[in-house]
Chain A
Amino acid sequence: MSSKQPHRSPGSGGPAIETAGLVKTFGDNRAVDGVDLTVPAGTVYGVLGPNGAGKTTTVKMLATLLRPDGGQAHVFGHDVVREADTVRGLVSLTGQYASVDEDLTGTENLVLLARLTGHGKKAAYARAEQLLDAFGLGEAASRQVKNYSGGMRRRIDIAASILNTPDLLFLDEPTTGLDPRSRNQVWDIVRAVVGHGTTVLLTTQYLDEADQLASRIAVIDKGRVIAEGTKGELKASVGAGSVHVRLRHAEQRAQAEEVLRRALDDARIQLEADPVALTARVGESAAGAAGAAEQASRALAELARTGITVDNFSLGQPSLDEVFLALTGHPSEPEPPQDADLRKEADLRKEEATA
């Protein structure tokens, strides 16, 4: 990492991606309905949205796989339609489904792609070996990819995408269906890639993934960008936070709920599974985060005055889940990954793979 140096600039030094009014329709369905995005170079940009929001279609247009029906898109200043070939030289795509040939082995896949990007035979094999090694796939190198597990597929997929360090890497739902451990490893890879100057456009339906990796996030729903900004901005724009309170005595919870509701102007109070814990939403009516803190301290003073013992409290920013709910009026689906669910999914994938 010591020899990290500024990445050669593939364009004017402007944004990595700039789109204006991008539209793609399939029959009557406006899958992408006027998307405006500006993705700064050298960052991870998260595109967050539920299934069918238009994330993949947008990525496909940017990666020159689909022709837009309207609007414009530039990648490092190059038009994705008129200069498609130049754009292809700058980008790499890891699709939602394995973008490698399942009938070939890990080595064969990487050699194939290395040859296609112009490496000589010897260089191609050397590069493939280095990559497989770095991605911990050395032992699986001569196995057909169809026998790989979900986590291994993701790795070979990403390895194929960084055969030649791309200027812009599209990762379309890179961790869907992975167990938590494999997911963390993919996150590490993404951080390493972006640390070396590659811009990453990441689509995800997992709020915590966008939260973990992305510096800016666009929330899209039904083919439109409904919010855009840094994580902080997004959260602040919703203007709500929450106070988590832990009481000493569980029997005081009902009373505490009543006090909080009164003190916080009919705020929504949620009783947690833990019998001594409750959470109140603050700052929904007042102006932003400052209002939230003020309200919270008022609420705590009120609790103390009525003789309810508070063991612990914290003031939290809204989760991206709450952001999504506030922006779209419907919850994001699916729920943020539950470990058990993920394992089940990973198992299914593996069964499919070995079948």
Chain B
Amino acid sequence: MSTATTDAQDLAPVRTESLAELLIAKERPQRPSALSASLTFGWRAILKIKHVPEQLFDVTAFPIMMVLMYTYLFGGALAGSPREYIQYLLPGILVMSVVMITMYTGVSVNTDIEKGVFDRFRSLPIWRPSTLVGYLLGDALRYAMASAVMLTVGIILGFRPDSALGVLAGVLLLLVFSFAFSWVWTMFGLLLRTEKSVMGVSMMVLFPLTFLSDIFVKPETMPGWLQAFVNNNPVTHVASAVRGLMEGDWPAADVAWSLGWAGLLVAVFGPVTMRLYNRK
């Protein structure tokens, strides 16, 4: 009982005069552009990282674990030595980890959407998708961090890319693809009722999508039906493109496929997400 009373007494009184001044100011600035609103929501995502830095665990510890585990687990058997193997593995495991991290977008949308603040965002006269785009922009920053961490660990373990520019281009391509892929999760985040079900669905989609690719081994040794899947898996295209870029090549077809998939994902899941968002 004492808390509430002291609380009310501690609170400075409302200053009606300053309040009046604020209320008189009727000037209303121009509404922000779509880009500006999205960037503002991106800033919100960054502030959240700042206040809850623990959430960076999945973009630091998890990727390091992935690199170490698979390099030493498969290295000897598949390429003679971990040092040999990481040359092939790192671009792929980078793609795998970042694509897996995208599912947290769905989880955070799902937990956030129930909060009252979403009602406020949705009652603002702004470009509707900007709230969600802001999430994805904040997440892009997380993906970039994960990429930097993994490349650093890789280089320590002996990964030697052929082109620094290629590394940058590869990471950029990966970010573009992940941004597009995240719309799948924003959709599930809005569609499913609980955080757990979002996680469950994510795993169902992500495990086959990332493992049944050319990330760990070249598809040549696989049975025909599996090759058919692997060769048409968007993750294979992205992994091949990133690998090629980091080797200093210009894998035009794979880059085109990756961007094509990205475009398709946004075109399909973007509108579905927005439809759900508007109805929520």
Number of interface residues of A (CB under 8 A): 74
B35 at the interface (CB under 8 A from A): no
A-B contact count (CB 8 A): 174
14 A-B pairs with CB atoms under 8 Å apart are A4-B24, A5-B24, A89-B28, A89-B31, A116-B37, A130-B18, A134-B15, A136-B12, A137-B12, A149-B7, A185-B11, A189-B14, A192-B23, A347-B4
Q: Which residues of B, 157-213, contact A by the 8 Å Cβ criterion? A: none
B221 at the interface (CB under 8 A from A): no
Given known A-B contacts A133-B18, A155-B14, A188-B16, A8 and B123 have beta carbons under 8 A apart: no
**Looking at the complex, which of B42-50, B77-85, B257-265 is the stretch in contact with chain A?**
B42-50
Given known A-B contacts A7-B26, A135-B14, A103 and B32 have beta carbons under 8 A apart: no
Q: Which residues of B, 6-35, contact A by the 8 Å Cβ criterion? A: 7-9, 11-26, 28-32
Task: Please tell me if the beta carbons of A116 and B117 are within 8 angstroms of each other in the complex.
Answer: no
CA A139 – CA B132 in complex, angstroms?
Answer: 32
CA A7 – CA B25 in complex, angstroms?
Answer: 11
Task: Please tell me if the beta carbons of B32 and A136 are within 8 angstroms of each other in the complex.
Answer: no
Instruction: Point out the residues of chain A lying under 8 angstroms from B4, CB to CB.
Output: 149-150, 179, 343, 346-347, 350
B249 at the interface (CB under 8 A from A): no
Question: Quick one: which of A93, A149, A343 contacts B1, CB cutoff 8 A?
Answer: A343
Task: Please tell me if the beta carbons of B1 and A117 are within 8 angstroms of each other in the complex.
Answer: no
Task: Please tell me if the beta carbons of B16 and A192 are within 8 angstroms of each other in the complex.
Answer: yes
Question: Quick one: which of B36, B48, B117, B121 contacts A98, CB cutoff 8 A?
Answer: B117
Q: Which residues of A, 101-135, contact B by the 8 Å Cβ criterion? A: 101-104, 108, 112-113, 115-120, 123, 130-131, 133-135
Question: Quick one: which of B22, B36, B115, B126 contacts A130, CB cutoff 8 A?
Answer: B22
Task: Please tell me if the beta carbons of B122 and A65 are within 8 angstroms of each other in the complex.
Answer: yes
A162 at the interface (CB under 8 A from B): yes
Question: Quick one: which of A63, A182, A193, A344 contacts B8, CB cutoff 8 A?
Answer: A182
Question: Quick one: which of B36, B120, B122 contacts A113, CB cutoff 8 A?
Answer: B120
Question: Quick one: which of B21, B52, B123 contacts A65, CB cutoff 8 A?
Answer: B123
B125 at the interface (CB under 8 A from A): yes
Task: Please tell me if the beta carbons of A123 and B29 are within 8 angstroms of each other in the complex.
Answer: yes
Instruction: Point out the residues of chain B lying under 8 angstroms from A7, CB to CB.
Output: 26
Residue in B24, B115, B120 with the greatest tally of chain A CB atoms within 10 Å: B120
Instruction: Point out the residues of chain A lying under 8 angstroms from B119, CB to CB.
Output: 60, 63, 65, 93, 95, 99
Q: Which 8 A-B pairs have the closest CB atoms?
A: A136-B12, A118-B29, A134-B18, A346-B4, A88-B125, A97-B116, A196-B23, A181-B8
What's the minimum C-beta distance from A154 to chain B, rounded to whole angstroms?
11
> Which B residues lie at the A interface, using CB under 8 A?
1, 3-5, 7-9, 11-26, 28-32, 36-37, 40-41, 43-44, 47-48, 51-52, 115-117, 119-126, 279
> Which A residues lie at the B interface, using CB under 8 A?
1, 3-5, 7-8, 60, 63-65, 67, 85-86, 88-89, 91-93, 95-104, 108, 112-113, 115-120, 123, 130-131, 133-139, 144, 149-152, 155, 160, 162, 164-165, 179, 181-182, 185, 188-189, 192-193, 195-196, 198, 340, 343-344, 346-347, 350
Task: Please tell me if the beta carbons of A133 and B29 are within 8 angstroms of each other in the complex.
Answer: no
Given known A-B contacts A96-B116, A115-B40, A67 and B279 have beta carbons under 8 A apart: yes
Task: Please tell me if the beta carbons of A116 and B126 are within 8 angstroms of each other in the complex.
Answer: yes
Given known A-B contacts A91-B123, A343-B5, A144 and B51 have beta carbons under 8 A apart: yes
Question: Quick one: which of A67, A95, A117 contacts B116, CB cutoff 8 A?
Answer: A95
Residue in A8, A101, A193 with the greatest tally of chain B CB atoms within 10 Å: A101
Instruction: Point out the residues of chain A lying under 8 angstroms from B16, CB to CB.
Output: 188, 192
What's the minimum C-beta distance from A83 to chain B, rounded to whole angstroms?
11
What's the minimum C-beta distance from B127 to chain A, rounded to whole angstroms?
10
Known: A103-B48, A115-B40. 5 other contacts (CB 8 A): A88-B124, A103-B52, A104-B51, A120-B29, A346-B4
Task: Please tell me if the beta carbons of A350 and B3 are within 8 angstroms of each other in the complex.
Answer: yes
Residue of A nearest to B28 (CB): A164
Instruction: Point out the residues of chain A lying under 8 angstroms from B24, CB to CB.
Output: 3-5, 165, 196
Instruction: Point out the residues of chain A lying under 8 angstroms from B11, CB to CB.
Output: 136, 149, 151-152, 155, 182, 185
Task: Please tell me if the beta carbons of A189 and B19 are within 8 angstroms of each other in the complex.
Answer: yes
Task: Please tell me if the beta carbons of A134 and B14 are within 8 angstroms of each other in the complex.
Answer: yes
Task: Please tell me if the beta carbons of B47 and A104 are within 8 angstroms of each other in the complex.
Answer: yes
Given known A-B contacts A100-B120, A117-B124, A118-B30, A165 and B7 have beta carbons under 8 A apart: no
Instruction: Point out the residues of chain A lying under 8 angstroms from B12, CB to CB.
Output: 136-139
Task: Please tell me if the beta carbons of B116 and A133 are within 8 angstroms of each other in the complex.
Answer: no
Task: Please tell me if the beta carbons of A133 and B15 are within 8 angstroms of each other in the complex.
Answer: yes
Task: Please tell me if the beta carbons of B123 and A151 are within 8 angstroms of each other in the complex.
Answer: no
CA A104 – CA B19 in complex, angstroms?
Answer: 23
What's the minimum C-beta distance from A81 to chain B, rounded to whole angstroms?
11
Task: Please tell me if the beta carbons of B123 and A93 are within 8 angstroms of each other in the complex.
Answer: yes
Residue of A nearest to B124 (CB): A116
Instruction: Point out the residues of chain B lying under 8 angstroms from A88, CB to CB.
Output: 123-125
Instruction: Point out the residues of chain A lying under 8 angstroms from B29, CB to CB.
Output: 117-120, 123, 164
Instruction: Point out the residues of chain A lying under 8 angstroms from B122, CB to CB.
Output: 64-65
Residue of A nearest to B15 (CB): A134
Residue of A nearest to B7 (CB): A149
What's the minimum C-beta distance from A237 to chain B, rounded to whole angstroms?
34
Task: Please tell me if the beta carbons of A95 and B18 are within 8 angstroms of each other in the complex.
Answer: no
Task: Please tell me if the beta carbons of B32 and A135 are within 8 angstroms of each other in the complex.
Answer: no
CA A282 – CA B37 in complex, angstroms?
Answer: 61
Given known A-B contacts A104-B47, A135-B14, A118 and B1 have beta carbons under 8 A apart: no
What's the minimum C-beta distance from A239 to chain B, rounded to whole angstroms?
39
Task: Please tell me if the beta carbons of A135 and B40 are within 8 angstroms of each other in the complex.
Answer: no
Instruction: Point out the residues of chain B lying under 8 angstroms from A135, CB to CB.
Output: 14-15, 19
